[in-house]
Structure 1
């Protein structure tokens, strides 16, 4: 088991209206210093399909998110683990969501990109008043649901909370 600190900052600004939350970056995300970096993770292909865009670089992904009012972060700020599996996270210390939501009051909803991120958030922040939606995991480990079905659920979330 090794101890890890979250390796990169959240992607958000004053215009962010929805915040997608994972649990903690995978090893591939650590290596690329960016969210959902595993080549088989469906997060970016799902957003590309919903918005009919192609996002080739991390910088393009970041710019796209900020332009659309989409934020990205993780529930856990530091933990112990020995691999990328969410089941392997130990001694977790959460990020400071009370401060984040005070600093960014335009955030209308949190979209959890998997059950572990949702469960960890509820464990540490069950009393925080904000809309929370559990979305299907985009991880390649969650292959039970088709990409098309995941796209439909993510589109419903985006349509509900990003429209004015």
Structure 2
């Protein structure tokens, strides 16, 4: 079993961005969206107006200052490699997103990063906060960056 990362939540979160489960590179480094080919930080930086190339701690600070919290739908699972398609759904353990929302009642929107995260979210999570899917920031998602960014702009 692989175990994911803890949530990143600043003092006044208003939006929770949920991925499916961290990549192998993210798990190895303990950093969200650590694969440099993943467009997450580039998308978030463009939406919120911060330098996507800044050091990780500066990117986290910028995200949380803008009220963005980060987490994943899954707490743990078995998966060969980093592809969401390889997640063994039978071993998946879901994060307690309801408890996170109860602890942070200012979160009034959930943004789900990609179709795999949405499928897991819809199957396993029951919360009263509205959720919207944005195109996956993964390098496996072949949509052009500008097309992704147009849909990610709703995050702000």
- TM-score range, shorter-chain basis? over 0.9
Aligned match of 1:42: 39
Structure 1 CA distance, aligned partners of 2:11 and 2:127?
A: 20
Q: CA deviation at 1:37?
A: 1.0
Aligned match of 2:104: 104
- Indicate if the aligned counterparts of 2:50 and 2:62 stay in contact, CA closer than 8 A: no
Change (3 A) 1:82 1:59: same
Structure 2 CA distance, aligned partners of 1:156 and 1:64?
A: 17
Structure 1 CA distance, aligned partners of 2:37 and 2:8?
A: 21
Render the CA deviation track for 1:66-97: whole Å, top value 9, x for unaligned: 11000100000010111101011111000001
Q: CA deviation at 1:57?
A: 1.2
How well do the aligned residues superpose, as a CA RMSD in angstroms? 1.2
1:141 to 2:140 alignment: yes
Aligned match of 2:49: 52
What SS does the corresponding residue of 1:24 show, helix, strand or coil? coil
Aligned match of 2:13: 16
Aligned match of 1:161: none
Q: Which runs of 5+ in 1 are unaligned?
A: 159-164
- Indicate if the aligned counterparts of 1:13 and 1:104 stay in contact, CA closer than 8 A: no
Structure 2 CA distance, aligned partners of 1:111 and 1:98?
A: 15
Q: TM-score, normalised by structure 2?
A: 0.93
Question: 1:145-164 maps to which residues of 2 (within 5 A)?
Answer: 145-158=143-156
Q: 4+ residue runs of structure 1 moved beyond 4 angstroms?
A: none
What SS does the corresponding residue of 1:45 show, helix, strand or coil? helix
Aligned match of 1:119: 119
Query: What is the aligned length?
Result: 153
Q: CA deviation at 1:123?
A: 0.8
What SS does the corresponding residue of 1:71 show, helix, strand or coil? strand
